[in-house]
Copies of this chain bind each other. A is one copy, B any other.
Amino acid sequence: MKIGELAKLTGCSVQSIRHYEKEKLLASLRRSDGNFRLYDSAKVDQLKFIKHCRSLDLSLAEIRQLIELNQQPGMGCEDVNRMIDSHIEQVALRINELQDLQDKLMALRNSCASQSTVKECGILQTLSVTQK
C-alpha cells in the first residue's frame, strides 16, 4: 500500500509518517518504480504502536527506544518501567505547576472590577507591581 492508504488506516497525516521515517521510527519496505513508499500490513500495526505512544505523550526518542527494546525480547524490562515512571513524575510536576499558575491567574483576575478603564484596571496594576 502507498502512504496515503497507510495514513487513512491509522489516522496519521502523511507528513507525520514521513517525519517518523526521517526519525528512524518507521521505515517503508521499499519504493515503487516511481519512487513511492510502499508498506505492508505489519507497518500499520507499527504505526498504531507509535500513535498509541504519542497519545501518552512519549517523545519520538523514547518511542524509538521502546521499539529497539522490543527487538530484544530476552532482556529485562526495567528500562521500560523506568521510562513510564519518569513520565508519570513529569506529568505530576507539570500538573502542579499548572495548578499554581491557575491560582495566580484567578487571583489576578479577581483584582479587576469589571467595567473599569485601563488606567484603573486592577489586573494591569497588579502586573506592574514587582513580585516578591
Q: How large is the interface on A (under 10, 10 to 19, 20 to 34, 35 or more residues)?
A: 35 or more
Tell me the dominant secondary structure on chain A's binding face.
helix
CB distance from A67 to the nearest CB of B (A): 10
CB distance from A118 to the nearest CB of B (A): 5
* Interface pair B92/A124, CB less than 8 Å apart: no
| A56–B108 touching, CB < 8 Å | yes
List which A51-74 residues lie within 8 A (CB) of chain B: 52-53, 55-57, 66, 69-70, 72-74
Contact B91 A98 (CB under 8 A): yes
Interface string of A92-132 (1 = CB under 8 A from B): 10110011011011101100101111111101100111110
**Top 10 A-B residue pairs of the complex, sorted by shortest distance between their CB atoms:** A73-B119, A77-B121, A75-B118, A84-B109, A88-B105, A77-B118, A95-B98, A91-B102, A80-B123, A77-B116
* A-B pairs with beta carbons under 8 Å apart, 21 shown: A45-B130, A53-B127, A56-B108, A66-B127, A69-B118, A70-B118, A72-B118, A73-B118, A74-B117, A75-B117, A76-B115, A76-B116, A77-B121, A80-B123, A80-B124, A84-B105, A88-B109, A91-B101, A91-B102, A94-B98, A95-B99
